[in-house]
Chains A and B, each alone.
Chain A
Amino acid sequence: MAGRGHGLGRGLGLKIEPFKHPITMDPNYADKTWKILEDAIHEIHNQNASGLSFEELYRNAYNMVLHKYGDRLYNGVAAALTRQLQAVAARVEAAQGESFLKELKARWDDHIKSTQMIRDILMYMDRTYVTQQHKTPVFQLGLDLWRDHVVHHPVIQQRMLSTLSDLIAKERAGEVIERSLIRATTQMLVDLGPSVYEADFERPFLAAAADFYAKEAQAFIASCDCPQYLRKAERRLSEEVDRVKLYLDASTEAKITAVVENELVREQMRALVEMEGSGLVAMLRGDRFDDLARMYALLRRVADGGLALMRQVMGDHVKETGRQLVNDPERQKDPISWVSRLLEERDKYEAVVARGLNDDKTFRNALNQAFEAFVNLSPRAPEYISLFIDDRLRKGLKGASDADVEAVLDKTMALFRYLQEKDVFEKYYKQHLAKRLLSGRTVSDDAERGMLVKLKTECGYQFTSKLESMFTDIRTSRDTLADFRSRLATKGTDLGLDLTVQVLTTGSWPTQGAAKCALPAEMERCCEEFRDYYLNAHSGRRLTWQLNMGTADLRAQFGSRRHELTVSTYQAVILLLFNEADSLSYKEISAATEIPTSDLKRSLQSLACAKGKNVLTKTPMSKEVDEGDAFAFNDKFSAKLFKIKIGTVSASKEGEAEKNETRHKVEEDRKPQIEAAIVRIMKSRKTLDHNAIITEVTRQLQPRFVPNPAVIKKRIESLIEREFLERDPNDRKTYRYLA
């Protein structure tokens, strides 16, 4: 600081100086006083301070400083301390083995006590001389000198370190050691300053630990399986933390933890995760939640990629097992078990994440990605999932509680969410729903509606609007039919058979082209009657009969046995022919009924070739129906039940041709959606380059399906042709919107 003591006066032009008067002083004053003080210091050091007068010593020191002997006093103290500490060092050095640390601690305690006393005596010097001359205060000087002469004494330094290391090594090996001495030693080092602790103990300690754990990791990895290793690593980590708490400085905790994590976990993590037979994959296979949790907790400590590694290995495993699952040819034969299996797989991994992986979101995402990847590997996934729901809503839910129904459907929705081709699912769902509604075989209206609500929440109003109108049609049909019947009753008309009609809105239902067939007169009359009634009530509408979707109940007499047969409309038409003749050729049946060939064959097949339901006999006998075959009424038919349901041979799973047709329909339906998306985007952006359009269109359509870039390109070209867009004349990769 500039102008000590005079600063005040400078501004005023004044100078204030202490009053000076000549002091006559004993020329040996300094020597004498110092001698007293030196002796006192010596006594203090020898723990002999009881005979000293603090006041006198203080005054002496005070006077020395006052009389400008500060230098002399300070240097003298330093020299005295140094001498004493050299003697102390010699004593400590002499102590061997176990007594070494004890001696060190005892001397240290003494030194601190005496240095404190000396500091008190020299307090005036500390306040004035030391601050003015920028010297080290006495107490700190005492610590520094201790550091230099005792701790850094070559023999002591080396022995202290090796003693500490030996003790720690012993404890790591499981022996019981005297912790308090170590605690005292490390505390001493900390008191000497953080840098002393770090340089003289912590750094070598950490290096030794790294060395130790590197070796241990090698040994463990060679001898243990993965869960064992993880348990050991976990224990080591907690031991080291305890050690810090017991006898090291708190600042060491993070450092030693990092060392152990690095050696025991990070260095070995790949080997651990990928360990044959007991690594992550084995844990996942065996649902070993505790081991998974342990691995998760340990790898989470590795900031750079511990969990990423786990996620990746898990994702690959899920993808691989999933791939095998969806491509398993045996499972593909049965869509219901195919989907059930996927649901089980998902339940399993849900549990893994929830119970083994701390409910970690990133793992859940990885899981979802993996599922999405393999579920979509199978082009039939949308169809199978819809079939599964169909199965549940038909019969699977009978007897199940509402909550169970809800749970199964919710889980299935999770699979649905993975589907990239949601529009394909919609197609199938519509088909299956139509079958359920028309055959009146849905188990519960509530369940159906619940499913619809789920789809609506997932995909929005558009997705389900047609499905909803199907429900409306069924309800309206019920009313219409009731009205029709009451009209007939009032008119007194008897149709001779019980007609049920469902009026379906065109466009809302998956209708196959209205296949014609020649109805017997009594049936034809019913149809006419209904048509008249309906068109009368709703003028301007058109009715087309979808006979291929109908069913009929027939009463039949086989010898003496009577049965009621539930058959399709086509089958009923065929069977009624046998009222007139006992035997007919395929050609005759075909000519009389005009049923399309493939439908006719399927209908005949189920009437003549299905075991236990063969109400017709076929010559020659075989599984397939041929155009040269002949059919006869089977008099000898018998069955245990009165009511017999004869299904048409129709795969619940689609055949190759149907599949391609559905595929084609889906592709056609996508075109306008892709074009609409392109136009929507270009309308708002005006100009956009090719890749940006592809990205944006894909993003917009993602909730329904993932469009193929080549298809998008074709749509763009079509729009260019129709002059909705043009290419930028200067940059062919950029398109412009034409208003």
Chain B
Amino acid sequence: MNRGSKIKEKEKASQFKTITGASDKVATECLRATGWSVEAAIEYFYSSGLQAAVPSVDMKGIEALFAKYKDAADGAIRAEGVGSFCEDLGVDPSDVVMLVLSWRLNAATMCEYTRDEFVGGLQRLGCDSLEKIKRRLPEMRGELKDPAKWREVYHYAFAWAKEKNQKCLQLDVAMGMWQLLFAEERRWQYIDDWCAFLQAHHNRAISRDTWVQLFEFVRTVKPDFSNFDESAAWPYLIDEFVDYMRQRQAVAED
């Protein structure tokens, strides 16, 4: 597929969502039905009764929330605003639930919400007050138990966490994200070994490919690496990690 057109489609979809507050699925549906014209799609959305699916919310409440946290200098919520937002919600900023929330709000960058992301996102969630958001938090936490959503959040985390003008994710940020993601019941037993290995032998930024493939690796390869196939196109970092672990295990056995 042509990459250029794909990117344009994404842009149109987000434009559509900001205006209508509809979900991804509905946006794609409407746009596809109207041949990717945003205006026609919006008309279609309102005339077909699809807007009924969007929960009715108090837009003023959301606007007020945004105004409360937004940075004085520009039109977005920055690190400081996110900090007080977390405080008001009663969650730690490094709680994984904030990642899920950002994912639900479709936020592009860590510790940042643009107006479109924040307002449009909360509208889609049907939350117009801190109380309502708070009530939704346990549900969001639970979403990580769904394998498909867990995977989506993991993939989303890479783009969310990286510097926007860079292709790769800084190693320390990457390790922090992994520690956050592979924690609790999603814990990967080698997470500490993996981070130690990266620091000792790699010490460079992490590419998107390595990020994505690690998820598959954790998901499919057995803890004893018995079903690890060297010729199966794993990124070389993972190859080297397996070597490293096998050597250590061999030494440990001696």
Contacts and interface: CB of A to CB of B under 8 A. Distances in A.
Nearest to B213: A732
B232 A733 contact: yes
Contact of B233 (A723, A732, A738): A732
B168 A721 contact: yes
A710 interface: yes
A732 B216 contact: yes
Contact of B207 (A689, A717, A739): A717
Nearest to B168: A721
A714 to B, nearest CB: 5
B104 interface: no
B209 A720 contact: yes
Contact of B236 (A691, A710, A738, A739): A710
Given A727-B209, A732-B213, A732-B216, A717 B231 contact: no
Interface in A720-739: 720-723, 727, 732-733, 738-739
Contact of B235 (A691, A717, A738): A717
Chain B interface: which size bin?
10 to 19
Interface in B201-235: 207-210, 212-213, 216, 231-233, 235
Contacts of A713: 233, 235-236, 239
Interface string B185-215: 0000000000000000000000111101100
A384 B199 CA distance: 40
Given A732-B213, A738-B3, A720 B207 contact: yes
Given A721-B168, A721-B207, A691 B231 contact: yes
Contacts of B10: none
A315 to B, nearest CB: 27
A710 B233 CA distance: 10
B68 interface: no
A691 B232 CA distance: 8
A199 to B, nearest CB: 60
A739 to B, nearest CB: 8
A732 B212 CA distance: 10
A714 B236 contact: yes
Contacts of B216: 732
A690 interface: yes
Given A690-B231, A732-B233, A717 B239 contact: no
B236 A717 contact: yes
Contacts of B231: 690-691
A736 to B, nearest CB: 10
B164 interface: no
A211 B239 CA distance: 60
Interface string A700-720: 000000000010011001001
Contacts of B209: 717, 720-721, 727
A733 B167 CA distance: 22
A536 B185 CA distance: 77
Contacts of A733: 232-233
Contacts of B232: 690, 733
B243 to A, nearest CB: 10
- Interface-centre pick from B2, B168, B232 (highest chain A CB count, 10 A): B232
A733 to B, nearest CB: 4
Contacts of B212: 727
A670 to B, nearest CB: 16
Nearest to A712: B236
A340 B212 CA distance: 54
B229 to A, nearest CB: 9
A349 to B, nearest CB: 36
Contact of B167 (A714, A721, A732, A738): A721
Nearest to A729: B212
Contacts of A717: 207, 209-210, 235-236
Nearest to A721: B207
- Interface-centre pick from A691, A722, A723, A732 (highest chain B CB count, 10 A): A732
A397 to B, nearest CB: 47
Interface string A678-714: 0000000000011100000000000000000010011
- Interface-centre pick from B2, B168, B208, B209 (highest chain A CB count, 10 A): B209
- Interface-centre pick from B3, B210, B231, B236 (highest chain A CB count, 10 A): B236
Interface string B234-247: 01100100000000
Given A732-B213, A738-B3, A721 B208 contact: yes
Nearest to B205: A721
Nearest to A719: B209
Contacts of B2: 739
Contacts of B3: 723, 738
A690 B236 contact: no
Interface of B: 2-3, 167-168, 207-210, 212-213, 216, 231-233, 235-236, 239
14 contacts: A689-B233, A690-B231, A691-B233, A710-B236, A713-B233, A713-B235, A714-B236, A717-B207, A717-B236, A720-B207, A721-B167, A721-B168, A732-B213, A738-B3
User: Shortest 9 CB-CB distances between A and B: which pairs?
Assistant: A690-B233, A733-B233, A721-B207, A720-B209, A713-B236, A714-B236, A717-B235, A717-B209, A691-B231
Given A710-B239, A733-B232, 5 more contacts: A691-B233, A717-B210, A717-B236, A727-B209, A738-B3
